[in-house]
Amino acid sequence: MLSQTLNEKPESLLPTAAGTPGVATNHAPNAIDSRTRFLRGILWTCLIGFTLYYLVLVPIDNEKDYLREKYHFEKHMQADIDQLVAGSLESSIVWDRLAEMTDLYGARLVGTDALEKSIDWVIENVKSDGLIVTTEEVVVDYWQRREESLYFLSPTRGPVKMHILGLGYSISTPDPINGLVAEIVVVHTKDELDQLGQAGKVEGKIVLWNKPFVSYDQDYVYRAFGALWSQEYGAVASLVRSLGPFSLQTPHTGVSYAADIPAASISAEDADILERSLKRHQKDPEKFPEWPKVKLTMSATTDLESRISRNIIIELRGREKPEEIVVVGGHIDSWDIGVGAVDDGAGCFIAWETLRQLSRLQRPPRRTVRVVFWTAEENTSVGGVVYAKNHPETNSSRHVFAFESDTGVFDPYGISFTPGQSRKKENSGGPSNDAFDFLLAAGDYFLGPRDDLGYPGAGRHVLPDGEGADIEPLCNQGIACASFTPADPFPLPYSTSPYAIKGALGAVDGDGKPYGEYRHKRLHGHRRHHRHHSHQRDARRPVDSGYFYYHHTEADTMGVFTPDQLKRSAAVMTIWTYIVAESSIEF
């Protein structure tokens, strides 16, 4: 009817030859046709606009109302979150403070003065914020790397210096000054080692584990157990390829479970040189008659339980439920290479900023928020063990949520979450969806619509499996646990190596699904219409192999991230901590 009406031209509206109404001429002015088309356009525009409003905007508003009512999101929470975000973004204090501490004291190996001076520096600055800070002593081991080197004894080039890092708790070579010289044998799996070992081809040799990186969870066992496995067959030392998807002659350190032979990490490039050399010899021994040899020198030492370190505890008491504690933090120690900015200085400092921002609210959250900088995570995680032992559940105090950041701090992606024991179904024993659904809804409601945290909806995602090394003792007590999850810094590695690309894309969750394809659950009985739900809006995915470009290497420096990334990540951690601390539900 609308189009019919607009196309009709009543004679009463048309001019006549003599100006007499009702008598049409054959020469209507263009102005009349233009006006008709203009009016028609206005009507169609209005019709389309009303249609879009009722199909898109009204459902979005309805969903926000639905979420607010179902999950009891109180109106003051949005105002508080807006203030927290504005405060987090207003200055580069997180980056500035982390740069100052790492510039002053460098890496923070457990047992060193550098770690304890860094702890003193943090305490002094926390007090300047007007926050309550205490410490608790932790007895720690002291492993020292000292002097170490590896040379490939090339028949044509002479000694070629290679890039290594001794692994934590490794012993020294039998002669820590002159080292040891031995032929190498290359393996990629435990099965290959067993086959060669049972054939007597490992005894007296140095085992090189040269397995290309796929994922940390899959590959770290060769670093952790490679020396133990190798010594069973009479090997004199163990070398493991750097545990990362990409290398610029950057070996990757970490703990190796104590064995009776020395253990070190070797850069990916150098590991490949040694394997190629061995393959040439095995393929054409007449042309390449010498079995590849290396000279390894290490002088590492370990003093067990010989030093005292400290956990740092910073607290903001809750206004209504002070006995219920939401703990947030990271580990203050690092390895002795790089400066420990990525692992895990930034994780600690965004937690510190979380408490600083929460303390500036007119009213603190309902629950107590406690920030902990755990010590000694890198070698034994004893700081987390001591904390859990020193803070058991009592009638006046209990942990309700443990939140850790220890997978890097880049752009925010969201959190990973494991519900507490109190949320288990009585019959099936499986985790309840209630707490998970609450957090999904909170992410959609408070973070989904935002576009001021790097990209639309940044930080809103909720993934499964939130345990971490420092909070594991609390998780094991049945407390709900979560981990801050950054976006991976590299959607694909810069390297075009097929191994690197496989590593970047190969990690899967417990169901065998790639983490990047994680699908949000639908809210029960309600269709979702948010503009910000599509994963196609950007190429970001949760942190995976990109973190291991820097992890436990000399590349762990302040240059890895920008001040703006730390601002945005601090804002997201603050939002999630506030949501948990302000809510009344059991997680």
| Residues taking part in catalysis | 377
DSSP code, position 411: S
Tell me the β-bridge partners of 134.
313
Tell me the β-bridge partners of 241.
266
**Residue 202, exposed/middle/buried by CB under 10 A (0-12, 13-18, 19+)?**
buried
Q: Are strands 263-266 and 132-144 parallel, antiparallel or unpaired?
A: unpaired
Tell me the β-bridge partners of 568.
none
Strands, sheet with 158-162, edge to edge from the N-terminal-most edge strand: 158-162, 148-154, 293-298, 180-187, 206-209, 237-241, 263-266, 164-166
Phi and psi based region of residue 496 (left: phi greater than 0; alpha: psi -120 to 50; beta: remaining): alpha
Q: What is the 3-state secondary structure (H, E, C) of 245-296?
A: CCCCCCCCCCECCCCCCCEEEECHHHHHHHHHHHHHHHHCCCCCCCCCEEEE
CA angle 211, 217, 219 (to 5 degrees): 10
- Whole-Å CA distances, 312 to 121, 323, 330, 388, 396: 11, 20, 10, 13, 21
Reported as type and span, the H/E element at residue 227 is: helix 216-231
DSSP code, position 432: P
Residue 114 CA to its chain's centroid (Å): 25
Tell me the β-bridge partners of 293.
183
How far apart (Å, rounded) are the C-alpha atoms in residues 274 and 381? 34
Sequence-ordered list of residues with C-beta below 8 angstroms from that of 390, at least 6 positions apart, any chain? 136
How many residues does this entry show for the chain?
587
User: Before 344, cis peptide (omega within 30)?
Assistant: yes
Structure tokens at 156: 């044509």
